[in-house]
Amino acid sequence: MKFPQAKIIFLIFVSFITISLKAQDKDIISYLKLIEGGKKDSVLKILPDLKKNFPNDPSVIFLEGVLTENGQEAIPIFSRIIDDFPKSKYADASIYRLYSYYYALGLYNTAGTLLKKLKKEYPASPYIKIAEREIPSENEPSSTEQKTSSTENTANYKFTIQAGAFSNDSNADALKKSFENAGYFSYIKNKSVGGSEFSVVYVGKFASNEEAQNFLQVLNDQFKLNGRIVPIN
């Protein structure tokens, strides 16, 4: 059977694109191992060149997300992989990362939706078992809590503000210190979610939701945050 010349050219073009896409799928396993081995700074130095040479590679995008210590900033990175590259080898890992972040912040409905998506679209993913392993109760206080030197009685306070969640303790400590330098009460709770560790920064103590809401607006403007009011357990 003979193909028209235009059709043959089209088939060759499609084949070339397919091969090119596969070639651009950068192998980042060695970089992930370096991060796991405590050599994150070394990978950070390499990342700009990787992003330049492979700007639309989902593996490189995932690596950038892993290196982004501020959970809020990592959200759009992992979301891009999920939305634009659902067949990427790191798509299920991206969903799991978002799930862990939202659960650590106490956004259980959002986290639950992501877990359902993971189970439905990637039923063979090993991250399903990891996500379900040792998930703390919503009302269960963290077993490890870093407290400030203040030992004030919090019996009259019902609300506080979650200011951020970080995978790096130094970033959480820096934000806490910024709050304290501004004269605000702040503390950190460490949360373990499905094997991922997060340092969640809280700021302020309030007797009413209205009081917390008024402060939240000031706080978000002052520190360029996206804080959330939560009850004090």
Q: Evaluate the CA torsion angle 168, 173, 174, 176 in order and state its sign.
A: positive
Give the pair of three-digit tokens for residue 130.
């990891």
The tens digit of pLDDT for each residue in 41-57 reads: 999 999 999 999 998 99
pLDDT computed for residue 135 by the predictor: 56
Domains of the chain with bracketed CATH? 27-132 (1.25.40.10), 145-231 (3.30.70.1070)
Lowest mean pLDDT among 53-67, 143-157, 203-217: 143-157
Could you give the 3-state DSSP secondary structure of residue 97? helix
pLDDT computed for residue 194 by the predictor: 66
pLDDT confidence of 156, banded at 50, 70, 90?
A: confident
Stronger pLDDT, 186 or 149, i.e. the higher one: 186
The tens digit of pLDDT for each residue in 95-124 reads: 998 898 888 777 777 888 899 999 999 999
The tens digit of pLDDT for each residue in 7-22 reads: 433 333 333 334 334 4
pLDDT confidence of 162, banded at 50, 70, 90?
A: very high
pLDDT computed for residue 112 by the predictor: 86
Among 201, 233, 204, residue whose Cα is nearest residue 218: 204
pLDDT computed for residue 100 by the predictor: 86
Stronger pLDDT, 152 or 230, i.e. the higher one: 230
154 with 232: CB under 8 angstroms? yes
pLDDT computed for residue 16 by the predictor: 37
For residue 200, the surrounding DSSP H or E stretch is strand 196-206
pLDDT computed for residue 108 by the predictor: 78
pLDDT tops 50 at residue 187: yes
pLDDT computed for residue 167 by the predictor: 85
pLDDT tops 60 at residue 178: yes
The CA distance from 107 to 176, in Å, is 21
Start-end of H helices in the chain: 5-23, 29-36, 40-53, 58-67, 71-84, 91-104, 108-121, 127-132, 169-181, 209-223
Among 48, 44, 49, 26, residue whose Cα is nearest residue 34: 44
